[in-house]
Amino acid sequence: MPSNLQIVLKSRPQGEPTVDNFELKTSQTPELQDGQVLVKHQFLSLDPYMRGRMNDGKSYAQPQPLDEVMIGGTVGVVQDSAHPKFAPGDAVVGMGGWQTYSVVDGNAPGMLRKVSTEHIPLSAYLGPVGMPGVTAWVGLTQICEPKAGETVVVSAASGAVGTAVGQLAKARGCRVVGIAGGPDKCNFVVNEAGFDACVDYKAHPDAKSLYRAIKEATPDGVDCYFENVGGAIMEAVLLRTNAFARIAVCGMIAGYNGEPLPLQNPSLILVNRLKIQGFIVSEHMDLWPQALQELGTMVATGKLKYRETVAQGLAAAPEAFLGLLKGKNFGKQLVKIAD
């Protein structure tokens, strides 16, 4: 069995995480037991939720244990199998973590799924046809419930989730406004992903300027808001909400390092009769097949555009992850582990 390069969580961050919180190790891959599958990972997914799991405080998910391989979604190829449903060469999606190989119980529900790469690239199963895409689909269809002609606003619009939200909303006849950082990201959001407008928050560093830009982009107000960021951006969008607007809270990356996120105008929740609901996509497994069907069809037919930022080699994962938390990535952040 091959030796396995792994990244473990060495220590918990005090405020902003650093590369010193991680450690690169080598271990020996165990012999396969009956029903197990050996997977060699080609790509690792890096996602903002991982930051919350690095803490040991109360959250919606169990903390990442110290000195264990960092959790993370992976796609790869079966190298060896002691399970009748998996054969060497099968392309698979799983939660293999920050490592080159994983040994997976082939009988465990949802732990390993065979996929086809005939019409969909393998890496896309970690992005638009994976957890980020399903997150977009669930938040939009189940919480925002947009109607044709309504205005949908998406923060972190050029990211893996935001890009999918906007295109799913456009497919439902909505006006879609993205909020992203920098002209390149806004150009992609409008010219490739097909949003109607994009606000570059980096060009509007103060609250009044940001509000004016969002107001200009949403002349009819905001009916649905897909929230990935929190903080000043959420404040500005709340001021533009219409009566009975719906807000799907997917992430609050502005507060992931413990920064307070005070709400300046909570009375708007009552005045505009807002529905604000947080959600975790893993709690909606019954909806995944329906979501993946629509997302897979859109990607396979070229109707859903997406971007990827790919770091090379497992050792690059910590730096790439820290960059993701600061918005340095463009689209889905991946790590290429092996061919």
Query: Is pLDDT above 90 for 71?
Result: yes
Backbone angles phi, psi at 175, to 5 degrees: -85, 130
Q: Which residues contact 78 (CB under 8 A, 6 or more apart)?
A: 37, 38, 39, 86, 87, 88, 89, 90, 92
| Higher-scoring residue by pLDDT: 60, 209 | 209
May I ask the CATH class of domain 131-282?
Answer: alpha beta
Q: Which residues contact 195 (CB under 8 A, 6 or more apart)?
A: 154, 157, 166, 170, 176, 177, 178, 189
Please, what is the average pLDDT of the chain?
Answer: 95
Residue boundaries of the structural domains of the chain? 3-123+306-336, 131-282
| Higher-scoring residue by pLDDT: 109, 124 | 124
Tokens of 198: 């994009």
Reference 104, options 132, 53, 135, 69; nearest CA is 69
Specify whether the CB–CB gap between 179 and 214 falls below 8 A. Answer: yes
| 255 — pLDDT class (breaks 50, 70, 90) | confident
Reference 256, options 236, 286, 293, 231; nearest CA is 231
pLDDT at 252: 84
Mean pLDDT of the region 272-301: 96
Q: Do the first three CATH levels of 3-123+306-336 and 131-282 match, i.e. the same topology?
A: no
Homologous superfamily (CATH) of 3-123+306-336 is Medium-chain alcohol dehydrogenases, catalytic domain (3.90.180.10)
Measured CA to CA, the distance from residue 303 to residue 296 in angstroms comes to 10
* 8-25 per-position pLDDT tens digit: 999 999 989 999 999 999
Query: SS3 of 312, please?
Result: strand
pLDDT at 206: 93
- Least confident stretch, 33-47, 56-70, 235-249, 319-333: 56-70
CA 274 to chain centre: 25
Mean pLDDT of the region 94-99: 97
Strand partners, 4: 27
Query: Is pLDDT above 80 for 254?
Result: no
Tokens of 72: 């993370």
DSSP 6-47: EEEE-S--SSS--GGGEEEEEEEPPPPPTTEEEEEEEEEE--
pLDDT at 263: 85
| 260 — pLDDT class (breaks 50, 70, 90) | confident
* 43-52 per-position pLDDT tens digit: 999 999 999 8
pLDDT at 92: 98
| 257 — pLDDT class (breaks 50, 70, 90) | confident
pLDDT at 286: 95
Query: Is pLDDT above 90 for 330?
Result: yes
